[in-house]
Amino acid sequence: MKKILIIVISSLLFFLFFVATFPKENGYFFLEKKMLLHQLVISNEKTKEHVFSFELRDGEVRYKKQPLFVFEQIKLMTFLFFTKLESNNIALYHKKKSVYVQLIDKVKIKHHVLNPLFIQGEANGDVGELKFNIKLKERLMKIDLKPSRLMKKEFRNYLNQMKQDAGVYYYEYRF
C-alpha cells in the first residue's frame, strides 16, 4: 500500500512539474505555424505565460486574409483531470458594414482526461446562448444556438446555414 501511495504522489508531482515547466509560449508559436498552413492567422496578440496557464490578449483572427474576429483575452488553463479554455469579449467581423461587432461576452471550452475524445463548450453574449460539443472519434461537431433578436436581425446569413427545431438552431459538421 505504501508503494502505491508513493507511486501516485510521485506521478502527481511529476505531472505538476511538467505542466509548470512546459514552454507554453513555444508550444503556442509551434501551433501558430501549423495554423498558418491552413491560412488561419492570429495577429497583433500579446502572450503571457503563467505557471499553470497561458494567455493571449488583444488579438485578431483572420482566415484566408479575411478578418473573422478580434478578442480581448484567451486563457488556456491545465488542471489535473481537465483542460479549460476561456475567452472574453469576442467581436465578430460584420462583412456588410466592414466593422467588428461585439457579440460574444464569454466562451468556455473543457476537455477532460477521463473522456479524451469529447470536447464541450458554451458561449453567451449578444448572439444568444450557444452550446457545442465535438466528438473526435466520430469526427462530428454539433452546435445548438438560441439566437437573440440581434442575431436574427443582423446575422441572418449564419442562421440560414443552420436547421431549426423548437426555437433552437442547430448545426452539425463532419470533419
pLDDT in tens, 74-125: 999 988 889 999 999 999 887 777 788 778 999 999 999 999 999 999 999 9
Number of neighbouring beta carbons within 10 Å of residue 169: 21
Tell me if the pTM is above 0.75.
yes
Task: Reply yes or no on whether the pLDDT at 62 is more than 90.
Answer: yes
Instruction: Note down the domain range covering 85.
Output: 2-174
Rounded-to-integer distance, Cα 33 and Cα 114, Å? 29
pLDDT of residue 17: 86
Total structural domains within the chain: 1
pLDDT of residue 97: 75
Q: What letter would DSSP give residue 114?
A: S
Quickly state the pLDDT bin for 2 (edges 50, 70, 90). Answer: confident
